[in-house]
Amino acid sequence: MPSYTPPLRDMQFVLHELLHVTDELRALPRHAEVDADTINAVLEEGGKFAAEVTFPLNLSGDAEGCQLDQATHEVRTPQGFKAAYAQYVEGGWAALSCDPEYGGQGLPFALNQCFYEMLNSANQAWTMYPGLSHGAYECLHAHGTEEQKALYLPKLTSGEWTGTMCLTEPHCGTDLGLLRSKAEPQADGSYRITGNKIFISAGEHDLAPNIVHLVLARLPDAPPGSKGISLFAVPKFKVNADGSPGERNGIYCGGLEHKMGIHGNATCQMVLEGAVGSLVGQPNKGLQAMFVMMNAARLGVGNQSLGLTEVAYQNALAYAKERLQMRSLTGPKAKDQPADPIIVHPDVRKMLLTAKAWAEGGRALASFCALLLDKELHHPDEKQRQDSAELLALLTPIVKAFLTDNGYQAATLCQQVFGGHGYIRESGMEQYVRDARINMIYEGTNTVQSLDLLARKVLANNGATLKKFGKLVAALVEEEGVNEKMAEFINPLAYLGEQMTKFTTEIGFKGFQNADEVGAAAVDYLRVAGHLVFGYFWARMAQVALRRIAEGSADPFYQAKLQTARFYFAKLFPETAMLMRSARAGAKVLMDTDAALA
């Protein structure tokens, strides 16, 4: 049976020693009073909820799955899910980072991010129910009318109601310009929406009495393509004047998807038959409004894989310390045992350290991005808000794609540590592999994220935003460039930083001549950029660890951080050389292949 211990020490290291989050928050009037004790207390209690309430439901929820009643279109979630959600709402966890105007606690996203990492480690399928509600909340908070905000936000804030986003249709996935759902305006200002949606996570369930669906559809006079999409709020139950759920609306679950993983979450085929909804934002501007939710979801999906990376690593490490298999190549280490624990073998350590490096690097990046979001929304200085927004836009596809690619690799490696026991259900490892696989697919596949990064976030502004991150790297290199103890971290980072400008320019030049060159290079490019970002944070974490050791700290945590940083730069970071060579191979070897693909 798997186990899970919330990584509170590493979270505190990232927030307080690496990012100095309370100093950053002090500049934001909304969060100026948030101190380290508050952050630590919330994390400790949040960790208890994750480990004690939702984690015990992970294996059973996967085995049981969700059940659809075809007659009533109601979905029953696995046993224990509803009670856990009620406890989540009662504890005020849904309101953690929400606006106090609507009943929220107003705590920073940087704190909420860590809480959700623990929930994802404990039970990704369960966590998707409240996680999607946060996205719906953010979208309505940014683009809803005052009436919509008053109607929906208090319920979403408290967790009494949940939310979804209904985008995908059977004939179109990422290309939402092809969607066919129709919205007919009514005399009373409402709309009647008809269409079919698929792959709708948490689209129907028994956790809450009402579900607020955010639905993309076309108005009768809408222009074709993505410029003709509008967004609508469509509740499962129409809302009475007093705010209570009323008559059943014309939106229901027509079927549950049979999936590889996340069995405890209801992934629904949703049918809309004249469902009553209200317009969110401007007509034909639905994608712009939905991008608030989509970008939040992309950060959330990266966080899902971060959570799975951590829990898979914890279990693989514990197993490697106990499982006896063969002897060390340099002679017996456990001489009182018939064999040595497998952790003595170099390749087992490589697998474990890979997962550890991906988890701790991902935690630093995800927390940094959450802090950027806090600054984008609440910093009193407009330039600080704009700079934070631009940097977050650059890093969002990296969080989504790099963390999920790494998370799947980590889950697979940790399963490998278990050998044959990792392939059977009892260890829990095969579930982590199955659950991690979806994270590379939904909310825009990782190829889509790579195209977004290279084409929109880098080349579209001639690398201006990338240069902003490059300045962070350059400042660290200048600060530590002559420190011999930092050389093993700074030198490869500085070299990649220099190469990145040339590499980007080269790909951009080829792309202007042939757009397929961008498509051919994008996935490799994102991984190179991901390593640049991870390299920066790993160098900074090594910097902090070295300083603490120099100050006399005997805490083994800092030695562990240094050793992991050394492993990352020696064994994982060199992937960048291969990736750049692959990207430079160009599009011809992919596109001039009609005979090969006949």
Q: Which residues are catalytic?
A: 443
Pairing relationship of beta strands 162-166 and 211-217 according to DSSP bridges? parallel
Distance of alpha carbon 459 from alpha carbon 504, whole angstroms: 8
> Is there a contact between 81 and 57 (Cβ–Cβ < 8 Å)?
yes
If one counts every other C-beta atom within 10 angstroms of the C-beta of residue 559, the result is 14
Give the angle 311-297-181 at the CA atoms, nearest 5°: 135
> Is there a contact between 306 and 403 (Cβ–Cβ < 8 Å)?
yes
- Please give the C-alpha separations between residue 433 and each of 51, 261, 306, 509, 511, in angstroms, as whole numbers: 20, 8, 13, 39, 36
If one counts every other C-beta atom within 10 angstroms of the C-beta of residue 189, the result is 8
Q: Report helix angle 109-143 to 36-49, nearest 10.
A: 80
What 3-state class would DSSP assign to 161?
Answer: coil
Distance of alpha carbon 474 from alpha carbon 272, whole angstroms: 53
- Please give the C-alpha separations between residue 270 and each of 27, 164, 204, 499, in angstroms, as whole numbers: 44, 11, 9, 48
Listed in sequence order, the residues at least 6 apart from 395 whose beta carbon sits closer than 8 Å to its beta carbon are: 365, 368, 369, 372, 469, 533
Distance of alpha carbon 516 from alpha carbon 525, whole angstroms: 14
Place of tokens 């260890």: 427
Listed in sequence order, the residues at least 6 apart from 298 whose beta carbon sits closer than 8 Å to its beta carbon are: 396, 397, 399, 400, 443, 444, 449
Distance of alpha carbon 104 from alpha carbon 195, whole angstroms: 34
User: Mind giving me the DSSP string for 361-414?
Assistant: HHHHHHHHHHHHHHHHHH-SSHHHHHHHHHHHHHHHHHHHHHHHHHHHHHHHHH
Pairing relationship of beta strands 267-280 and 230-235 according to DSSP bridges? antiparallel
Distance of alpha carbon 21 from alpha carbon 114, whole angstroms: 13
Q: Extract long-range pairs of 15-20: CB within 8 Å, 24+ residues apart.
A: 15/39, 15/110, 15/114, 15/367, 17/544, 17/548, 18/364, 18/537, 18/540, 18/541, 18/544, 19/110, 19/364, 19/367, 19/368, 19/371
Sign, Cα dihedral of 452, 453, 454, 455: positive
Q: Which residue from 203, 226, 217, 235 is spatially nearest to 288, judged by alpha carbons?
A: 226
